Amino acid sequence: MRIDVVSIFPEYLAPLELSLIGKARQEGILDLHVHDLRTFTTDRHRTVDDTPYGGGAGMVMKPEPWAQALASIADERPEGAARPVLIVPSPAGERFTQALAYELAEQDHLAFACGRYEGIDERVLEWSREHFDVRPVSLGDYVLNGGEVAVLAMVEAIGRLLPGVVGNPESLVEESHSDGLLEYPVYTKPSVWREREVPAVLLSGNHGRISQWRRHEQFRRTAERRPDLLEAFDAGKLPRADRAELQELGYDVVDGRLRPRPAAGGDHGD
C-alpha cells in the first residue's frame, strides 16, 4: 500500500518511523511519503493561510498550495490504477471505526490532508473529487488543533491490518471492535500480584471454559462501558450460549437486535 500525507508540520509524523509501522516501511509493506505543504507555495514567505471570506475568527488554508500538493500525488498514480482515496480529517466527517479501517486497508493508495487553523478552503475538496475519492473522516466528537494526530491514529489502525505487519494475525481477530464488542481483559505472570489473583479459569488449562469466560467478559465489559455497541450488535445468529450470557446481563434478542430488558417494577398506575 502507498500512503501520502500532506502537512505543514511533517516532523509531526515522525512516529510513523517507529514500531510495527516503521518496520513495515523498512520491509516495503507500506510505502509512506510525508510532504511539506509549504514546498508547494510560490511566495517568499511560504504562506499557506489567509483571512476567511465573510469575516470570523481564525485563518483558512489557501487552496492553491493544496491543489499543487495533491496534484503531485495524483500524478504518481500508475496508468490504469484505481483512483487514490483522499482522507481529510474533519470533525464534520464520518466516524472512523474499525470497520472503516478494514475497508481502507483494502485500498492500494491512500492520501491524507492534514488541515490546520479553521480548515482547508472548501473548494479544495470539490476540486479533489476530480482526482480522488474524497472522504472527510472524524476520530470523534471533539476538535484538535490539526489533522496530524488523527492521521497518526488512522495510519496505525489501517497499517496494522496489512498482511505481514502484525506478527500473529490471529491477534487482530480477538481485539476490541473486531466483532462489534470490546476485548476481554488480559493477564500475565505472576498469577498473584499485590494480592490480586488472575481469574482461576485462565489457569485451568480447559480451553473450552477459557473461551466461554472470555466471551462472557466481552459481553459484560461492553454492556458496562459501551452499551451503545450492544444495541447496534447483529444478534440474529447468536448461538444459544451467547444468548444465555446476554440474558444474564439483562439483554434480550428482539428482531435480531439486543435490547435491554425493562427494569422490574415501576409505575403500574392505579
Cβ contacts of 166-174, under 8 Å, gap ≥ 24: 166/20
User: Which pLDDT belongs to residue 266?
Assistant: 53
Measure Cα distances from 258 to 142, 219, 231, 265 in Å.
Answer: 28, 11, 5, 21
| pLDDT the model gives residue 142 | 87
pLDDT at position 152 is: 96
- The pLDDT score that the predictor gives to residue 231 is 86
Q: 144 by DSSP, 3-state: which?
A: coil
**What sign does the CA torsion over 17, 18, 20, 26 have?**
positive
Q: DSSP secondary-structure letter at 95? A: E
Predicted pLDDT of residue 261? 87
pLDDT of residue 30: 94
Cα(199)–Cα(234) distance, integer angstroms: 29
Positions of the chain with pLDDT under 70: 167-178, 264-270
Q: What is the pLDDT of residue 222?
A: 92
Instruction: Determine the Cα–Cα distance for residues 129 and 86; give it in Å rounded to an integer.
Output: 9
Identify which of 111, 87, 109, 106 has the alpha carbon closest to the alpha carbon of residue 34.
111
Q: Looking at residue 220, what is its pLDDT? A: 93
